[in-house]
Amino acid sequence: MNTVLITGSEGNIGTYLVGHLKKTHPETKIIRVNIKAIEQNSVDSDCVYIGDLGDASFVEKIFQENTIDYVIHAAARQYSSDGFKDDAYGVLSSDIACLLNVINNCSRIKKFVYLSSAIVYENSKTAPFTEEMTESIYPPKSSYGLAKFFGEKAVAFLHQQYGTPYTIWRPFNVVSPMESYKKEGAHVHVDFYRKLFIEKTPSMQIYGTGQQVRCFTWVEDLAEGVIDFLTDVRTNNQIFNIGGSQQKTLIELLETLVKIGKEKNLLAPNYNPGVIFGDTFFGVEVKMHVPSTEKIKKVLGWESKTDFNTCFERFIEQKQKNEDQTVSTLRF
């Protein structure tokens, strides 16, 4: 029986990693880490540690009390506009400190799996992005990008010095219903959801021209890829882009969300918000944020299962379900 430590296990992606690992490998011992207490009935038989990965002694305790075979490091500060402006140093220092505290205990494990991000390509002038591009383009300049870039190098150096196998995944525009819409400056689809379905704004702003191109990835497709290839030797010491392949502009994203909302009677038939273009994006704007998925197809035979429209149908359905559950909880 393998023991797997999943950091960020209660997050937008980590929750789905835990779920898919339980589904496909029920015999696995899963160690989860959360910064605050979790209701006991929500953790089943998992081993849950409550504490801060930024505390080196806390992390050491986890490894001292368990023989850990695999680590999936999905912990990171949540994406927001603050991370690009007012809290840039906080994001960088926190993410690096947490990662190093975990890596410092991983010289003898079977594999270290690192969830990086497509943001490492933020200085690329060409698309689609191929995995080897990061060896020739400038390093990221944003706090989020630089933290992920540093993380990738740290994982590679761990292997160089101790021989610890690793896999680095670079997800593209992950769509998770667990991402909160309550604070402005989240991922674009989450901000659009808040403006359309919660605020029902008569007009909304899109940074730039609205012609920026993105490829979106349903979170369960990502979780399946990470977990299904966890022990696969073909992923040893490799970096993979992982994401959808359908290229869509932000205007197309907006139109799709409105269309789905009307079809599900969540938006009025005559609701057609005006769009204001312009202003400067608070983050790092890339016109073509598109992955090359040739490597993951060739090496692993992996492709995203969920098309663009289905992805956002599921996103809206689950967001609405979560809203209904919250309302019920408040009432009773």
Is-contact 244 311, C-beta < 8 A?
yes
Task: Give one DSSP letter per residue of 241-294, joined into a string.
Answer: EE-----EEHHHHHHHHHHHHHHTTSS-TT---EEEEES--SS---SEE-B--H
Query: Could you say which DSSP state residue 318 is in?
Result: H
pLDDT for the residue numbered 330? 28
Reported in sequence order, the residue ranges of 79-137 that DSSP labels E, i.e. its strands, are 111-115
User: What is the distance between the alpha carbons of residues 302 and 293, in angstroms, rounded to a whole number?
Assistant: 9
Is-contact 70 47, C-beta < 8 A?
no
User: What is the distance between the alpha carbons of residues 64 and 104, in angstroms, rounded to a whole number?
Assistant: 12
pLDDT for the residue numbered 328? 36
Which CATH code of 3.40.50.720, 1.20.1250.20, 1.20.1260.10, 3.40.50.300 fits the domain covering 3-249+280-325?
A: 3.40.50.720
pLDDT for the residue numbered 41? 45
Contacts of residue 133, defined as CB under 8 A and 6 or more positions apart, other chains included, come to 121, 124
**Sign (positive/negative) of CA torsion 155, 31, 221, 119?**
negative
Query: Could you say which DSSP state residue 162 is in?
Result: H
pLDDT for the residue numbered 200? 96
Asked if the peptide bond before residue 291 counts as cis, ω within 30 degrees of 0, the response is: no
Is-contact 217 243, C-beta < 8 A?
yes
Q: Strands 213-214 and 248-249, how do they pair?
A: antiparallel
Please classify residue 13 by burial: count the beta carbons closer than 10 Å to its beta carbon, then call 0-12 exposed, 13-18 middle and 19+ buried. Answer: buried
For the chain, what percent of residues have pLDDT higher than 90?
82
Domain coordinates in residue numbering, the chain = 3-249+280-325
pLDDT for the residue numbered 83? 65
pLDDT for the residue numbered 38? 56
Ranges of residues in the chain with a pLDDT under 70 are 37-45, 82-83, 280-284, 324-332
Q: Name the token pair of 69.
A: 């075979």
CA distance readout (Å), 319 to 154, 224, 236, 305, 324:
36, 21, 36, 20, 9
Q: Name the token pair of 273.
A: 């918000």
